[in-house]
Amino acid sequence: MITSKDNLTLIFVHACGVGNWMWYKQKDYFSNFSCMFIELPEHGDNYNIQPFSVKSAIKMIDKTVRSASGEVVLIGHEMGARLILNYLAEYTNDKVKKIVLSSTMIKTVKEGLFHKILPAKIIEKEFEKKNKNLQNIDFIKKTLDYYGVEEEYKDYYLNDMKRYKPRQLIKIIQEGLLKKLPLNLFIDNDIPALILVGEKETNANRLSAKLLSEYFSNSELIIVDNSTDNHIRTNSMVFNDRVKNFILT
C-alpha cells in the first residue's frame, strides 16, 4: 500500500531500441510526482556506455530503486516490463510497493521464431530494407503516426531507428525479449500489479497479459480500447489516468 504521494518515486523502464524519451507523455502528466526515467545500457544516452544484457539492466534498476526516495512504483513497457519481472525474480527490496506492466510479451510469437530460426543474413537484409525506407518522407510520416511520435520528438525516434546495426539490434532483441522468464516465481505473488495491453496488440501479447494477471494474485488487467502496443503515446490519457488511479488507491 502506498502511504503518501509525497513519499513516492515512480521509476519508468523503457522499451527495446528506444531511449527514455519515449515516456514524454508520462513526463508531463506525472510532473507533480517524483519520477526517475531509466536509460538502459546500449540505449539513448547510454548507447556507448556498456553492452545491453538482462543482468546489466536489472542491476541498473536495482541501483535506481536503492537511490530513490521513499516508496517505489516500477513502470515498464514492452522490454521494460520484462526487465521488471527479471528484477523481481532476482532482487528483493521492500521499497517496491507496486508494479505496472504494459504490453508485456511472455509468450513466443512469430517475431520471436523469426529471430531464432531464420539465418542472420536474411534478418539483416530485412532491417536494411527498413533503414532504406527511413530515407522516404512518406514512410517516415506514416511510421511516426503509427507509433504516435509527435513532431517535437521525431529526431529522437529517427536517431534510434538509424543508430543500430542489424546484428546489434538482433542481439538486444534476443537478450531482452526472447529469453525465458522465470514465471513460476510469480505464481500467487501478491504485489499489487496493473497490467495493460492494447486491444489491437498481437494475440500473444493479449494472452500474455491474461496469464500475468493470473500469476499475480493482486492484479488488475486493463485492455486499452482500439489501441496497439503504442498506447502509452497514442492513447496516453487512458494509460496515464489508469496508472495514476492505481498508484493512489
What is the structure's pLDDT at 131? 76
What is the structure's pLDDT at 15? 97
Q: What percent of the chain has pLDDT over 70?
A: 93
* pLDDT (tens digit per residue) in 182-222: 888 898 999 999 999 999 998 889 999 999 999 999 999 99
What is the structure's pLDDT at 126? 77
pTM for this model (two decimals):
0.92
Measured CA to CA, the distance from residue 103 to residue 206 in angstroms comes to 8
Architecture in CATH for domain 5-108+181-248: 3-Layer(aba) Sandwich (3.40)
Residue 59 grid coordinates = 542491476
* pLDDT (tens digit per residue) in 125-151: 877 787 788 888 898 899 899 999 999
- The pair phi, psi for residue 189, each rounded to 5°, is -65, 130
* Every domain of the chain and the residues it spans: 5-108+181-248
* pLDDT (tens digit per residue) in 11-61: 999 999 999 999 999 999 999 999 999 999 999 999 998 899 999 999 999
State the pairing for strand pair 71-77/34-38.
Answer: unpaired
Determine contact, residues 186/215, Cβ cutoff 8 Å: yes
Measured CA to CA, the distance from residue 196 to residue 110 in angstroms comes to 21
Determine contact, residues 43/17, Cβ cutoff 8 Å: yes
pLDDT of 171 above 60: yes
* pLDDT (tens digit per residue) in 223-240: 999 999 999 999 999 999
Tell me the DSSP string of 9-66: EEEEE--TTS-GGGGHHHHHHTTTSEEEEE--TTSGGGTTTS---HHHHHHHHHHHHH
